[in-house]
Amino acid sequence: MPAKDIYHDTVRNALIKDGWTITDDPLRLQVGLHKMFVDLGAEKLIAAERGEEKIAVEIKSFVSRSELRDLEQAIGQYTLYESVMAIKEPQRRLFLAVRRKVYFAIFEAELGKILLRNKRISLVVFDEKTEEILQWIS
C-alpha cells in the first residue's frame, strides 16, 4: 500500500466536517493482478428519495519543485483511477483534492482552466489550516 499524502488526514477531517462518512481508507481497486489505492472513499445521504452519493477522493499535495510535473502525475493517476472506477465502482464519482494555494496557482491559471473547462477532472478544494472543504468543482 502506498504512503499517505501529507494532507491525507486534513482532507479526511474536512470531508467528515462537510457531512461525509468515510467508507474506505484507502479505496481498493483491482484489475487482474494490478492493485490500486484511491486515498479515500466516502458517502453522504443526500435526501431520502435520492439515496446516497458516493465519491472517491485522490489527494495531491503539489510540493515538488515542478508544479507541471506534479500536475502531469496527478492527471495520469486520476485518469487511470477514473477509467477503472467506471467498471469497478460505477456508482462513485472521483475527485482530485487540492489545497487552496494549489487551486489558485494551477487551476485558476490558463492551463488549469483548460482542464476544468474540458471537464477532464473534478476538484475538491480544501483549506489545510481549518480542515474545511472550500469548493467542489465538476
Spell out the domain ranges in the chain.
8-137
What is the predicted pLDDT for the residue at 46? Answer: 75
Per-position b or e across 1-35, b if 16+ CB within 10 A of its CB:
eeeebebbebbbebbeeeebeeebebbebeeeeee
Q: What are the tens digits of pLDDT across the range 32-87?
A: 999 999 999 999 987 655 568 999 999 999 999 999 999 999 999 999 999 999 99
CATH of span 8-137: 3.40.1350.10
List CB contacts of 45: < 8 A, sequence separation 6 or more: 51, 52
Whether the predicted model's global pTM rises above the 0.95 cut: no
pLDDT exceeds cutoff 90 at 119? no
Looking at per-residue confidence, does 131 or 113 come out higher? 131
Whether the CA torsion 39, 43, 46, 51 is positive or negative: it is: positive
Query: What average pLDDT does range 89-96 have in this prediction?
Result: 96
